[in-house]
Structure 1
């Protein structure tokens, strides 16, 4: 499985001739390719080419007197195999802005239904245009409403656009967008689990907390978030998302919640030894399944815990078990 889009940097002197022989020629020979000017003006001091392959792949190549940057969702020419890779936040700002402008135009031409959601398009751009995941990640939002049952794609997209446009996760885009994955096969379970982390982050942010993802702890694990607000102690939060009963062997929603919490508690949280709030996101549950959980308020093995469900209209219901060191209004 290929990773989200990343730049490759090739230091040294590049010319039009070298670009044709070392980059365009192997692409054309293997895939069939066209070389043209980019859609938008490259940064000052750079020359650039846009390569479009017969199979729909695209790549950008930009160079100045010191070196060249490659970014593409296609095979990498062998000349660039041993080059270092960099994220969007690790290359010069003007270069990152130019490539994002090029790729967002490509994305919205291919999937115009994403254009009304500019921040979401930008945030998930590294996976929406990744080599292996560019079809499945978009399909997940378009055909599966990002894991929300009984919701339209536009409702789900508007929900996440509203949250992401606040910018609270912008500094963690590569980490958080990458959680969606870049598999050629749509993995509904993994993708909804990833969106559970976004649901939990929104829940915390709406309650007045800042969030910092992927907190490394001494056990060698990473906990999903640290919640930050004043002198509240900045507790750690781990998120899990049970599958609804119609997608798992547990035949009741209550059993689904308990089994999922048990799996998380007997593994990662047991190794950590306490001090983590477990968030159980039931946003995949249809109304009837959620009502069964909400009315019974089942215990889970780990405390403190928060069991919640959010809907695309922004409403959240839930309950707490144990002494939760967070003010969530439950």
Structure 2
């Protein structure tokens, strides 16, 4: 499985002859390539290139007398194989802005239904245009409403757009967007679980907490969030059961128990306490969620928050044990 899009940086002098000989001809020989002018003006001091391959892949290339930057969802030319990789946040602002404009225009031309959601488009751009995941990641939002049952695509998109528009997770864009995956095979379980972390983040932010994801702890694990307010911090780990029709568990209650047990018997047991378990039941349709609410099953860990979120922002749930968070459930 390929990773989200990242830049390659190639120090050294680049010329027209070198670009043609080492970049264009390599791409054309292997894939069939067309060399085009970029759609937007390159940053000052750089010459910009756009390569479109016969199989639908694209690549961007910026070069001058001192260095070059490559970004593409295609085979990397041999001349760039040993170059260092960098995220969008780790290259010069002008380089990142230009590439973002080029790729966003490409994304919205191919998937115009994403255009009304600019921050979501930007946040997930590294996976929406990744080498292997550009079809599956978009299909997850388009055809599966990002994991919300009984909701339209646009309802789900507007919900995540409103949360991402708070810019709470901007500094962790690459790692958080990457959780969606960049596989050419649709893995609804993994993708839906990834969006569970965004749901938990929304719940915490709406409750007034400042959040930071991917907190490394002494066991070598990374806990999903640290939620902080007034100097007090709480660690939060998230899990998301799948509905009974998608798993062996015979009832919604069993699905919740089994999924929570997997998390609590592994990572949380090793950590030895001090973590609040969030069990995101947003994948369950109304009838299955009502069965869970009626029984309020134990989840093998305390403290725990079991909740269900809808794209409208409505949230329901219950807690087990003393939860040191003030949440609207």
TM-score range, shorter chain: over 0.9
Aligned to 2:138: 138
- TM-score computed with the length of structure 2 as normaliser: 0.99
Aligned-partner Cα distance in 1 for 2:114–2:54: 24
Aligned-partner Cα distance in 2 for 1:65–1:170: 33
Aligned-partner Cα distance in 2 for 1:138–1:88: 20
Q: CA deviation at 1:65?
A: 2.3
**1:170-227 Cα shifts (integer Å, max 9, x gaps):** 1110010000000000000000000000000000000000110000000000000000
For residues 36-51 of structure 1, what are the structure 2 equivalents within 5 Å?
36-51=36-51
**1:97-142 Cα shifts (integer Å, max 9, x gaps):** 0100000000000000000100000000000000000000000000
Aligned to 1:195: 195
RMSD across aligned C-alpha pairs, in angstroms? 0.6
Aligned-partner Cα distance in 2 for 1:263–1:153: 31
Q: CA deviation at 1:294?
A: 1.0
Aligned-partner Cα distance in 2 for 1:299–1:111: 43
Unaligned runs of 5+ in 2: none
Aligned-partner Cα distance in 2 for 1:318–1:66: 57
Aligned to 2:53: 53
Q: Is the 8 A contact 2:15 2:65 kept in 1?
A: no
Aligned to 2:69: 69
Aligned-partner Cα distance in 2 for 1:196–1:87: 24
Q: Does 1:316 align with 2:311?
A: no
For residues 16-165 of structure 1, what are the structure 2 equivalents within 5 Å?
16-165=16-165
Aligned-partner Cα distance in 2 for 1:219–1:205: 27
Aligned to 1:229: 229
Q: CA deviation at 1:320?
A: 0.8
Q: Which moved more, 1:60-69 or 1:183-192?
A: 60-69
**Off by >2 Å, runs of 4+ in structure 1:** none
Aligned to 1:297: 296
Aligned-partner Cα distance in 1 for 2:139–2:315: 26
Aligned-partner Cα distance in 1 for 2:266–2:239: 12
- TM-score computed with the length of structure 1 as normaliser: 0.99
Unaligned runs of 5+ in 1: none
Q: Does 1:177 align with 2:177?
A: yes
**1:28-50 Cα shifts (integer Å, max 9, x gaps):** 01111000110000000111100
Aligned to 1:210: 210
